[in-house]
C-alpha cells in the first residue's frame, strides 16, 4: 500500500486499543487526519467505572448481539437532529467497586508508560492511565467524545482501487436534548470497539420462564457492582473465569454461606476443594417453575435469591452495515472475525483494521497490533502482507488447528509459546520506523516481562504438576478435557 493513498483514518473506540492505535498512527506522521470516535464522555473504555448499573439488563438466554444490540436506524437526510434515541447500546461497563487488574503491570501496560504502581492496581488507576496516555502522547486532540459511530458503509472504490468508508455519527446534545446526526468519510477505519459490552447468558431449560416468573432474580455479572448488595442473600454464581471467581470470593464475605458456584470446567486457581464459604456445583440442567434449580448431578437448590450469570460477553459490531458491505463481519457460530489475517487485517477490506480481538496479553499486544497496522497503512512496512490466497490459507489453517484442539479462533495461549510467536510475527511485519523518527518501534518482550507473566500471579495457583492436575480434574467432576492456559483469565 502506498503512503500517498491513505490520508484520513477513523478509529472507533478510545479504550486501551484505541489509545494504542492513535499513538501508532500519529507517530507515522503521514496521515492528514486521524479521529478517535468514542461514545463515552471520556477515554478509558472498559476501565470507566459506572457505579450505577441501571437500567438493569434483563438476561435473554441464548440471544446474540445481532438480536439484542441491533443497528440504530439513522434519519434519512443527514446532517440533522432527531429526538434522543432510547435504544439500549450497552455503553456502561462491568467494572465493580473492588476490581483490580489481573496481569502484572510490566506485562499489561504499554511498553512506553508503566501504571502508577503495581503489580496489580485498582480499576481507577488503569482508567487514569488510559486518559493520561492520550494526553501525554498529545493524542487527546484526536478524540471526538460522546460520539457513537452508528454506521460504517463502504463507498465505491477510488481510482486507486482502495475502499473508502462513510461513517454515520451520532452525538447527544445535552443542552438541546436532541441527537445530532452527521456523516464523515475516511480512507481507512480501525475498529477498536472492545468486546466486553454485550453480555452473554446461555440457553438453559426453563431459564426464560424462570426469568419471567421471578423478575430481577437472574442478573449478568455486568450488572454486579458490590458484594454489599447481596448481604445475607442466597446466591448462585454461574461461571468460573475471572468474573465468576472474583464475585464468588467477594460474596463469601457478605452473602449467606455457602455461596454456590456452578462451574463448567476447573480454573488453574482451583484446588481440589472449594475455599471456605463456597460450594461448587456442576452446570445447571434446568430451572423449574417452582423456583427449584436442578444441576447436572441431579442435586437441587431451593430458595435462591439471586443467580449471577458470569458467563462472559459476545463481540458486537452494530455499526457494520452488512447489507451494503456484502455480509457480516463476525461469525457467531465460530466466534471469529470473517476473512481475517493475524486477527487484525481483513482480507476483503484492505483499508479496514481491527485491534483488540485476540484473547492474549491486552494493552501490550494492542501495541504490536496497532504498530503493524499503522506501518502497513502508511505504506512503509518492511514486509508486505502476503497475497490474498496466502492470507486465506492462514485463516483456514488456524481454523483447522483450533478446531482440532477444541480452542477458540482468537484465543492465543501463553503456555504453548503461541503468544510470543504471534507478537514476534507482528514485530517483524511492522519492521523499523524511519531513520527520521517517524513511526514507532514495536516493543521488545524481555526476560523480566516474561518472568513476571509466569511468576507474578494475582490468583494463587495450587501445585500444577501433571499428576496433581489429573487428580484435581477427577475430584471436581467438571469437563476434564478443558485445559486452562496460565493466562486463560485475561
Ligand atoms: C470486568 C473486566 C475486567 C478486566 N480486567 C482486565 C485485567 O485486569 N487485565 C487485562 O489485561 N484485561 C482486563 N480486561 C480486559 C479489557 O477488556 C482490556 O484490558 C482492555 O481494556 C480492552 O480494551 P479495548 O480498547 O479493546 O476495549 P474497551 O476498553 O471496551 O474499549 C472500547 C471502546 O470503544 C467504545 N465504542 C464501542 N463501540 C463504539 C461505537 N460504535 N462508537 C464509538 N465508540 C464505541 C466503547 O465505549 C469503549 O470505550 C477486563 C475486562 C473486563 C470486562
Ligand atoms: N481484573 C479482573 O480481576 C477481572 C475480573 C472480571 C473479569 N475480567 C476480565 O473480563 C473478561 C471477561 O471475563 P468473564 O469472566 O466475565 O468471562 P469469560 O472469561 O468469558 O468466562 C466465562 C465463564 O462462563 C462459563 N460459561 C460460558 N458459557 C457457559 C455455559 N453455557 N454454561 C456454563 N458455563 C459457561 C465459562 O466456562 P468455561 O471456562 O468452561 O468455558 C467461563 O467460566 C476477561 O477479559 C477477564 O479477564 C477481569
Q: What is the torsional sign of CA 132, 459, 195, 206?
A: negative
pLDDT at 3: 45
**How far apart, in whole angstroms, are the C-alpha atoms of residue 142 and residue 43?**
11
Best residue among 23, 85, 362, 458 to mutate for probing ligand 1's pocket (most ligand atoms within 8 Å of CB) is: 362
pLDDT at 461: 79
DSSP-assigned letters across all residues of 27-63: HH---SEEEEE-SSSSS-GGG---S--PSPPPP-TT-
Best residue among 10, 11, 12, 13 to mutate for probing ligand 1's pocket (most ligand atoms within 8 Å of CB) is: 13
- What is the end-to-end Cα distance of the chain in Å, rounded? 34
Q: From the CB of 101, is ligand 1 less than 6 Å away?
A: yes
8 Å CB contact between 259 and 277: yes
pLDDT at 125: 98
The answer to whether domain 8-198+314-430 and domain 201-311 are alike in fold is yes
Q: At residue 90, what are phi and psi to the nearest 5 degrees?
A: 60, 35
**How far apart, in whole angstroms, are the C-alpha atoms of residue 432 and residue 269?**
40
Provide the CB-side half-sphere exposure for 53 (13 A, CA). Answer: 18
- Nearest-atom number in ligand 1 for the CA of 313 is 53
Please report, for the chain, the start and end positions of each structural domain, with discontinuous segments joined by +: 8-198+314-430, 201-311
- Nearest-atom number in ligand 1 for the CA of 193 is 34
**How far apart, in whole angstroms, are the C-alpha atoms of residue 185 and residue 435?**
32
**How far apart, in whole angstroms, are the C-alpha atoms of residue 72 and residue 74?**
6
The x, y and z cell numbers of residue 320, run together, are 457494520
The x, y and z cell numbers of residue 32, run together, are 492528514
Q: At residue 118, what are phi and psi to the nearest 5 degrees?
A: -165, -170
Sheet holding 306-309, edge to edge: 218-220, 306-309, 235-238, 259-262, 278-281
Contacts of 106 by beta carbon, 8 Å cutoff, 6+ apart: 114, 118, 119, 448, 449, 452
Q: At residue 149, what are phi and psi to the nearest 5 degrees?
A: -80, 115
Provide the CB-side half-sphere exposure for 243 (13 A, CA). Answer: 21
DSSP-assigned letters across all residues of 358-383: SBSSSHHHHHHHHHHHHHHHHT--SS
3-state helix, strand, coil in the chain (%, to 5): 30, 20, 55
Cis peptide before 55 (omega within 30 of 0): yes
Provide the CB-side half-sphere exposure for 283 (13 A, CA). Answer: 12
- Cα 36 to ligand 1 centre (Å): 15
What kind and span of H or E run contains 427? Answer: helix 418-430
DSSP-assigned letters across all residues of 81-106: EESPP------S----TT-B--S-HH
Q: From the CB of 194, is ligand 1 less than 6 Å away?
A: yes
Each residue's pLDDT, cut to its tens digit, for the chain (490 residues) gives 544 489 999 999 999 999 999 999 999 999 999 999 999 999 999 999 999 999 888 999 999 999 999 999 999 999 999 999 999 999 999 999 999 999 999 999 999 999 999 999 999 999 999 999 999 999 999 999 999 999 999 998 777 778 899 999 999 999 999 999 999 999 999 999 999 999 999 999 999 999 999 999 999 999 999 999 999 999 999 999 999 999 999 999 999 999 999 999 999 889 889 999 999 999 999 999 999 999 999 999 999 999 999 999 999 999 999 999 999 999 999 999 999 999 999 999 999 999 999 999 999 999 999 999 999 999 987 788 999 999 999 999 999 999 999 999 999 999 999 999 999 999 999 999 999 999 999 999 999 999 999 999 888 777 654 544 444 443 333 555 567 787 887 7
Cis peptide before 391 (omega within 30 of 0): no
Ligand nearest to the CA of 244: 2
- Domain 201-311 homologous superfamily, CATH: FAD/NAD(P)-binding domain (3.50.50.60)
How many other CB atoms sit within 10 Å of the CB of residue 324?
A: 12
- Nearest-atom number in ligand 2 for the CA of 245 is 15
Ligand nearest to the CA of 131: 1
CA 40, 314, 241, 108: dihedral to nearest 10 degrees? -50
Best residue among 121, 128, 193, 358 to mutate for probing ligand 1's pocket (most ligand atoms within 8 Å of CB) is: 193
- Cα 438 to ligand 2 centre (Å): 40
User: What's the topology of domain 8-198+314-430?
Assistant: FAD/NAD(P)-binding domain (3.50.50)
DSSP state of 320: B
Which long-range contacts (C-beta less than 8 Å, at least 24 apart) are formed by 440-446? Answer: 440/23, 440/24, 440/27, 440/371, 440/374, 441/371, 442/367, 442/368, 442/371, 442/372, 443/110, 443/111, 443/112, 443/364, 443/367, 443/368, 444/111, 445/364, 445/420
**How far apart, in whole angstroms, are the C-alpha atoms of residue 36 and residue 420?**
29
> Phi-psi bin for 90: left (phi > 0), alpha (psi -120 to 50), beta?
left
Q: What is the torsional sign of CA 14, 17, 20, 21?
A: negative
- Cα 239 to ligand 2 centre (Å): 6
**How far apart, in whole angstroms, are the C-alpha atoms of residue 193 and residue 354?**
9
Taking CA atoms only, the protein residue closest to ligand 2 atom 46 is 490
Amino acid at each position: 500500500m502506498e503512503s500517498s493513498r491513505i490520508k484520513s483514518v477513523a478509529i472507533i473506540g478510545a479504550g486501551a486499543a484505541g489509545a494504542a492505535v492513535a499513538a501508532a498512527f500519529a507517530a507515522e506522521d503521514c496521515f492528514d487526519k486521524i479521529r478517535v470516535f468514542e461514545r463515552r464522555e471520556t477515554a478509558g473504555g472498559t476501565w470507566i467505572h459506572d457505579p450505577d448499573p441501571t437500567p438493569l439488563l434483563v438476561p435473554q438466554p441464548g440471544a446474540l448481539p445481532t438480536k439484542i444490540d441491533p443497528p440504530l436506524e439513522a434519519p434519512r437526510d443527514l446532517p440533522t437532529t432527531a429526538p434522543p434515541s432510547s435504544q439500549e447500546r450497552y455503553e456502561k461497563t462491568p467494572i465493580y467497586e473492588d476490581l483490580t487488574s489481573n496481569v502484572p503491570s510490566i506485562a499489561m501496560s504499554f511498553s512506553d508508560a508503566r501504571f502508577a504502581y503495581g503489580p496489580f492496581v485498582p480499576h481507577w488507576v488503569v482508567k487514569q492511565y488510559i486518559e493520561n496516555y492520550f494526553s501525554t502522547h498529545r493524542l487527546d486532540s484526536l478524540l471526538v467524545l460522546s460520539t457513537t459511530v452508528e454506521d460504517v458503509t463502504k463507498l465505491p472504490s477510488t481510482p486507486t482501487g482502495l475502499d473508502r468508508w462513510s461513517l454515520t455519527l451520532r452525538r447527544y446534545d445535552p443542552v438541546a436534548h436532541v441527537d445530532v446526526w452527521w456523516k464523515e468519510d475516511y480512507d481507512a477505519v480501525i475498529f477498536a470497539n472492545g468486546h466486553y459490552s454485550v453480555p452473554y447468558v446461555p440457553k438453559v431449560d426453563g431459564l426464560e420462564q424462570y426469568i419471567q416468573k421471578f423478575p430481577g432474580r437472574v442478573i449478568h455479572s455486568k450488572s454486579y457492582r458490590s458484594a454489599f448488595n447481596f448481604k445475607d442473600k442466597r446466591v448462585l454464581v454461574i461461571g468460573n473465569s475471572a468474573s465468576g471467581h472474583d464475585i464468588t470470593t467477594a460474596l463469601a464475605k457478605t452473602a449467606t454461606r455457602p455461596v454456590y458456584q456452578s462451574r463448567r470446567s476447573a480454573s488453574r486457581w482451583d484446588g481440589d476443594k472449594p475455599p471456605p464459604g463456597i460450594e461448587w456445583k456442576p452446570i445447571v440442567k434446568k430451572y423449574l417453575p417452582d423456583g427449584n434449580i436442578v444441576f447436572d448431578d441431579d442435586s437441587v437448590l431451593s430458595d435462591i435469591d439471586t443467580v449471577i450469570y458470569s458467563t462472559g460477553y459476545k463481540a458486537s459490531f452494530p455499526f457494520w452495515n452488512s447489507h451494503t458491505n456484502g455480509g457480516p463481519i463476525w461469525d457467531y457460530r465460530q466466534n471469529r472475525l470473517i476473512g481475517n489475517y493475524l486477527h487484525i487485517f481483513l482480507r476483503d477490506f484492505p483499508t479496514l483494521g481491527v485491534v483488540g480481538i485476540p484473547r492474549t496479553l491486552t494493552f501490550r499486544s494492542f501495541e504490536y497490533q496497532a504498530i503493524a497496522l499503522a506501518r502497513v497503512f502508511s505504506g512503509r512496512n518492511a514486509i508486505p502482507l502476503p497475497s490474498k490466497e496466502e492470507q486465506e490459507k492462514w485463516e483456514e489453517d488456524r481454523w483447522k488447528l483450533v478446531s482440532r484442539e477444541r480452542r477458540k479462533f482468537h484465543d492465543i495461549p501463553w503456555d504453548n509459546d503461541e503468544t510470543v510467536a504471534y507478537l514476534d510475527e507482528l514485530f517483524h511485519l511492522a519492521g523499523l520506523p524511519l531513520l527520521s523518527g517517524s513511526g514507532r518501534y514495536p516493543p521488545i518482550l524481555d526476560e523480566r516481562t516474561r518472568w513476571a507473566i509466569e511468576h507474578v500471579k494475582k490468583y494463587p495457583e495450587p501445585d500444577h504438576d501433571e499428576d496433581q492436575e489429573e487428580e484435581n480434574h477427577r475430584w471436581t467432576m467438571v469437563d476434564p478435557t478443558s485445559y486452562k492456559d496460565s493466562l486463560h483469565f485475561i
